Amino acid sequence: MAVIPPPPLDPPPLKQLTLMLDWYLSPQHAALIVAKERALFAAQGLEIELLTPADPSIAIKLLAAGEVDLALTRQPLLHLHAHDGAPITRIATLIETPLNAVIVAGEAPAPAAVADALADLHYGYSTREGRDVLVEQLLPRSVRQVDDFVAPESVHFDAADALRSSRVDAVADGFFHTLPQQLASDGIVTHTVRYSDIDIPRHDGLILLANSDSVARQATTWSRVLIALEEASNWMIEHPEEAWTLLVTTHPVLDNPINQEAWDDLLRRVALSPAALDERRYAAFESYLQSAGVTENSIPVTRLAVNPHLLMER
């Protein structure tokens, strides 16, 4: 009598996770898209749903409330929200350099006149980073105390319209890959002042956050997320044209000349070891915020950021 082999076991179900983006899907999210579409998350036993916030300011709030598993933000916003007591921790870096800059209407002044020119502008901002960090650096206290000083204003995440209508002279935290190009298509000349030119410390441009109340308990899961992201990031660098094709095929909304022009520069900024943590960078930004009067004290780096791979070894 023939022995009938047992049927193959079904693979275990994928662990379901939700990740809130920082804003609309864009090429800066490429590692997440590649990891999802090339089944790199699935290979780690994960299914990650990428969510787009109705308002960029809610991603961290939802993470802190436990309503999403992960969220994206920029390093300066991590520091500011952590000082408010939000239970959030950086577990990965996707983009290693700032993607924002001061975007100013008009031609650039002579180098010697840049500081004075920046101090005379009416600023808009989109986020707390722009309001609490950049504006404080751009506008000396003496300028803010004059009678005719016009206070910076929120542009409500529509920086292009604010500059196009001359409502503001500059946006403190604009995306330099897209905002100048959008305005140039309307015939509006702008120039870009990088954060490093105004003594803002170098920092991570896009980071992945988890809830700090459960980060140690979830270290194994977060480690698997980061293995997939590292594979995705390295594949993009090795296959940039294939990666671009994958992005625009799976998400046609990304297929436009501005994004395509920015693609090569974005790739140069991608973190190839997303879990790796530069503790000095986070400590330096904390020190900067305190010395600038933005915060009253300094939070230890261990409270702000971790490497989940190392948490598993403890």
pLDDT digits (tens, 9 = 90+) for 119-151: 999 999 999 999 999 998 999 877 777 877 889
pLDDT digits (tens, 9 = 90+) for 209-238: 999 999 999 999 999 999 999 999 999 999
Q: Where are the domains of the chain?
A: 15-95+204-311, 100-198
pLDDT at 56: 87
112 band by pLDDT with thresholds 50, 70 and 90: confident
Q: Does pLDDT of 113 surpass 60?
A: yes
pLDDT at 74: 98
Averaged confidence pLDDT in the chain:
94
Report the CATH fold assignment for 100-198.
Answer: D-Maltodextrin-Binding Protein; domain 2 (3.40.190)
pLDDT at 314: 62
Q: What is the mean pLDDT of residues 107-120?
A: 89
pLDDT digits (tens, 9 = 90+) for 255-311: 999 999 999 999 999 999 999 999 999 999 999 999 999 999 999 999 999 999 999
The answer to whether the 15-95+204-311 and 100-198 domains have the same CATH topology is: yes
Q: Does pLDDT of 1 surpass 60?
A: no
DSSP-derived secondary structure for the chain: -PPPPPPPPPPPPPEEEEEE-SSS--GGGHHHHHHHHTTHHHHTTEEEEEE--SSTTHHHHHHHTTSSSEEEE-HHHHHHHHHTT--EEEEEEEESS--EEEEEESPPPPGGGHHHHHHTPPEEESSHIIIIIIHHHHS-HHHHTSTTPPPPEE-TT-HHHHHHTTS-SEEEEEETTTHHHHHHTTT--EEEE-GGGGTPPP--SEEEEEETTTTTTTHHHHHHHHHHHHHHHHHHHH-HHHHHHHHHHH-GGG-SHHHHHHHHHHHHHB-SSTT---HHHHHHHHHHHHHTTS-SS---HHHHB--HHHHTT-
Q: For the ranges 5-14, 44-53, 276-285, which has the lowest average pLDDT?
A: 5-14
Report the CATH fold assignment for 15-95+204-311.
Answer: D-Maltodextrin-Binding Protein; domain 2 (3.40.190)
pLDDT at 2: 60
pLDDT digits (tens, 9 = 90+) for 174-196: 999 999 999 999 999 999 999 99
153-154 and 88-95 strand pairing: unpaired
pLDDT at 150: 87
